[in-house]
Copies of this chain bind each other. A is one copy, B any other.
């Protein structure tokens, strides 16, 4: 993503082949990935890349507003790529199979805005996760 490259330049930071690869793969994979998974993927292209570089690049992406750290309660931080076209979505996590579904709801957004306003606050960002069970009997996603 060239938006990221130009942001780097503005900040006086450098473009390196490791960093570029990590960022490229991060956006191509386009899922709620964690550092370990990203490292593994990236090592398929450049085997000598280390943990530190992946963590440092992810932190950079977060600082520059290209990724959002997420904690789904499994002990590791996952990172959600921000494609600047899409509005910020929420998540529904299946309690049975751990599938993560993204959603967006205008009415919900309006309500949250109203709630915050009522308390004299303006929302900067939010975290909304619904942990839910599939209603379909004998759902194919169900584990165990």
Contact = CB atoms under 8 A, between A and B. Distances in A.
Contacts of A94: 121
Contact of A105 (B111, B120, B130): B111
A71 B129 CA distance: 12
Contact of A126 (B119, B126, B128): B128
A14 to B, nearest CB: 28
Question: How many chain copies?
Answer: 2
Contacts of A73: 69, 71
Interface string A98-117: 00010101011001100111
- Count class of interface residues, chain A: 20 to 34
Nearest to A112: B130
A94 B131 CA distance: 25
Interface of A is mostly: strand
A125 interface: yes
A138 interface: no
A126 B116 contact: no
A80 to B, nearest CB: 14
Given A69-B73, A73-B69, A73-B71, A124 B115 contact: no
